[in-house]
Amino acid sequence: MKRLLFLLPIWCFSCGISSNQTVDQETEEQVWTNPHLPNEERVSLLIAEMTIEEKASQMVNAASELSRFNIPEYEWWNEALHGLARSARATVFPQPIGLGATFDPDLLQRIGSAVADEGRAVYNLSQKVGNRRRYKGLTFWSPNVNIFRDARWGRGHETYGEDPFLAGQLGAAYVRGLQGDHPKYLKAAACAKHFGVHSGPETMRFNFDAVVSPKDLYETYLPAFQSLVDANVESVMCAYNQVNGEPCCGSSYFLNDLLRKEMGFKGHVVTDCGALFNIHHKQNYTGNDLETIQLAIRSGVNLNCGEIYAQIPEAVAQGYITEAEVDQCLSRLLLTRFKLGMFDPEELNPYNRIDSTVIHSAAHQALALEAAQKSIVLLKNKNGILPLQKSIPYVFVTGPMAANIDVLIGNYYGISDNMVTVLEGIASKTSAASSIRYQHGVLFNRFNTTPLGRGVHRAKVADVTIAVMGISGMMEGEDGETIASETNGDRVSIELPPSQMDYLRKMRKSCGDKPLVVVFTGGSPLNIAEVEEFADAIVYAWYPGEQGGQAVADILFGEVNPTGKLPMTFPMSEAQIPDFTDYSLEGRTYKYMKEKPLYTFGYGLTYGELKYSEISIVENTPQQFTASITLTNPTDKTVDDVIQLYTAVPRAEIASPQSSLQGVERVSIGAGEQQRLQFEISADMMSYVDHGGKKNRTDQLVEVYIGNCSPSQRSKELGGMFRKSVIDLSPKSI
């Protein structure tokens, strides 16, 4: 008996031809095109018809056209770190470290959805004109949820900071936004990178071996990835380096045992670009490229960003791997393309209807502004000098970053036609009756120690001087991208460039009793302890995206309350940071740092101050408690803030974190009003990780902190607020 089969050539879909042009076939050659079959079955049917050469051609990032299947070429390599990147005109959102400072998962999900909309629009248009170049696809190699463990790491600003809970919450929200909520189709495919332990040094990233204990692995390096796996992230990128002697892209333990079996990952694994080449040619871990293919295939690497997998047919022919092993790897990879709807009639996938009107739309620009506003951290505000009055008679704006577009966009950026510098933002706020002057003042590059020294005299007569200082992506970033870095993108020192520091000293002297407001740009901690002593106000703006200058001005002039919180600890100097190559968490991050930092994790001031009641704790079950606190706004204006929950297990059998972030709640409380907050405290929050990486619930005391910063003496000194309570789990005597 002959079967009626559904044939729908792929070229029809990409050209927008209706499914009414399908034909019935008596051959089973194209049965995989039937959109009514389960995707897994369709993948198997397609693979069964492919030659080994065709299979290999689909397992590299630049996948070839398969004309006999009407499958066009596809470039898997696409970027969307904080907006559609390297592709077309797009909305540029704040760099991820700035997004980390928002402590706002809902915001991240909305941003992810906006980015995917713009990506879909560009993809839909590009397919119609046959533009299938790199960065025109739907598989986005974002977000980066590595832990920013060392302030000197150049790529740290691609992450959400030093805390695994925060990185996991924000990264998972971004994934949900990118991938959408359709029951069948992905809007775009997100990627968690770089699995599983990776945070520099950039100079050694291709062959470095990160030695990590099971405790640090499970307590710090893996949890954010687990959060993204739980959010059904479609792909995971393995890192360049080795971990505990094994290449990340050639470790069956990491990719099969940990990622797939223990963590439950179901998608495909892609290598960082060139990582398989490095395994033999730079790490000398394998004897030749065919051994590398064997190692990678059996470790579960589905997609090679590079060209090593082009030799798969030879590896099969020489017995290094079997074709069945290739089929298993390819099946997971092709499944992603089916989920994206690439082989279905155009009208079945609602995402195919997203058009160019969403690209850099007014709504997306407003979202970029909101994100920038929420990311900016107010570090100091002596005597309430901020916010400034718009009617202030004379404003002097100076500094190398005031009119600098590079400090808006960070890295892995898109291009916008509406970028607002800090200078432009400030100019938009001041009254027409006010005077505003600008001078560059000083070179930013730290190799230039001689300041231009221009404009210092203006601070004597200005009613306020706003100095916009800091660093840019030219000084910190990825290996090969930082033209002003002598260490491949990492920083030798976290000091402010000497030329800028000297200029600020002169500016402070010239200001006299007039206020000096300093705005810093950058993607990582700077040692600004001296500036902390003499500046009247300090604002940290990160790389705030296309609307960053407007957002800074909104904060400075009080149109928006600052609510940004530091997503990582700012040390006093690099002397407080352990050796860069030491991946142990001892002495690192707010959890284990013993010395007094300059600024603490979670710290950030706002306009106004809330009053906190004592924490009330109610036992619901022996495994779960509810902590409550009442916040009161005694001022005559609305106060916005980000309230944070921390727990600690001080009597754990081994060293445990001094505190750990466990919950976040954004509040906006009107003048004279109160708000009651509740946080659920689960068994996991009352646990610690032992030396073997196992989580154990304590039977002793659990400390509970609720406040607007991480709990420490330094937080109190800086003006942070938190309350403490205790849960006693010790056995009660009868």
Rounded CA-CA distance 250/242 in Å is: 9
CB 686 within 8 A of CB 647: yes
Rounded CA-CA distance 732/12 in Å is: 72
Strands (E), 456-574: 464-470, 516-521, 537-542
CB 148 within 8 A of CB 159: yes
CB 263 within 8 A of CB 295: no
Task: Give the three-state DSSP class for 307.
Answer: coil
Tokens 């592709």 -> residue:
87
Rounded CA-CA distance 549/551 in Å is: 5
Given 104, 150, 272, 641, which residue is catalytic?
A: 272
CB 482 within 8 A of CB 474: yes
CB 617 within 8 A of CB 727: yes
CA-nearest of 677, 724, 734 to 701 is 724
CA-nearest of 125, 154, 148, 150 to 138 is 125
Beta-bridge mates of residue 724: 705
Quick one: tokens of 323? 């074709």
**463 part of the active site:** no
Rounded CA-CA distance 349/339 in Å is: 10
Quick one: tokens of 181? 């909520």
Rounded CA-CA distance 227/153 in Å is: 23
Treating both helix axes as pointing N-terminal to C-terminal, what angle do 164-179 and 105-128 enclose, rounded to 10 degrees?
Answer: 40
Give Cα 89 to chain centroid, integer Å. 21
Rounded CA-CA distance 716/612 in Å is: 14
Rounded CA-CA distance 30/24 in Å is: 10
Q: What is the DSSP string of 543-574?
A: S--TTHHHHHHHHHTTSS------SS-B-SSG
Q: Which helix (H) or strand (E) holds 628?
A: strand 624-632
Q: What angle do CA 663, 669, 671 make, to 5 degrees?
A: 155
Treating both helix axes as pointing N-terminal to C-terminal, what angle do 323-339 and 289-299 enclose, rounded to 10 degrees?
Answer: 60
Widest pairwise Cα distance in the chain: 96
| Residue 274 Cα distances to 87, 139, 239, 279, angstroms | 21, 18, 10, 9
CB 463 within 8 A of CB 514: yes
| Residue 217 Cα distances to 112, 296, 660, 694, 722, angstroms | 28, 22, 16, 10, 29
**Residues with Cβ within 8 Å of residue 284, at least 6 apart in sequence:** none
Rounded CA-CA distance 480/489 in Å is: 7
Rounded CA-CA distance 708/722 in Å is: 6
Rounded CA-CA distance 122/136 in Å is: 7
Rounded CA-CA distance 558/392 in Å is: 13
List residues with catalytic annotation. Answer: 272
